[in-house]
Amino acid sequence: MDNRRIIKIVPTDDAFPISWNIGIRCNYDCMYCPTRLHDATSKHDSLESLQNYWKSILEKTQKENRKYKLSYTGGEVTVNKNFKPFMIWLNENYRNEISSIVIVTNGSASLKYYADLLKYIDNITFSLHSEHVDEKKFFNTILTLSKTVPKTKFIHVSIMDEYWNQDRIKHYARILSDNNISYSINAIDYSMQNRKDVIFKGKLNLEIPRPFVL
């Protein structure tokens, strides 16, 4: 019988983790996302506001004497035009205080936007929502970035496990697996849904090649 006991639990990463929701404004309206987590009308924070929030965080936590692991989510972070300038500002002024910057995005911004953004952040998680996604654009972005950005950057795809999209989810997983891209299939809590119907606003390309050809 194994009599070993847990004596102590210590973090493997000494960074100070901060999960930062920069607002609920989003360009998507997924049926399983409650209205308290997204809307199309909330005002974006200004660059000055984002900078002041960060300075306030520093003031209240720097006594910890640890670097920061920053994770940004929304809403959708890329719809705020001040988000990328804020990332640039953080890098220019506080990179020594930050161990990593991670963002979660729905992948709707341009390939150029993400390629530029990856100069200033470390990890991107792309969430795949079939109601709105332009599949060809989404996978072109993911696969181009995976082939062109430095290996020090990490790209992950979070596939939403939508009940109406099961066949295509398997297709998405094969594309990502064939191209050695990290992915997960995420369970959905439908109890929070804001409507019952599924409305496809994106573009579903039924002929996505495997492996994807750029």
Domain boundaries, the chain: 16-36+46-192
Q: Judging by beta carbons within 10 Å of its beta carbon (0-12, 13-18, 19+), is residue 214 exposed, middle or buried?
A: exposed
pLDDT at 198: 92
How far lies 106's CA from each of 13, 98, 149, in Å?
A: 27, 24, 19
pLDDT range class, residue 202, cuts 50, 70, 90: confident
pTM of whole model > 0.75?
yes
**Residue 214, pLDDT above cutoff 80:** no
**Residue 131, pLDDT above cutoff 60:** yes
Q: Length of the chain, please?
A: 214
> With pLDDT > 90 as the criterion, what percentage of the chain qualifies?
83
Q: In sequence order, what are the residues at sequence separation of 6 or more whose Cβ sits closer than 8 angstroms to the Cβ of residue 126?
A: 105, 106, 107, 138, 141, 142, 155, 156, 157, 158
CATH for 16-36+46-192, options being 3.30.420.40, 3.60.20.10, 3.20.20.70, 3.90.1150.10: 3.20.20.70
Q: Are 44 and 80 in contact (CB under 8 A)?
A: yes
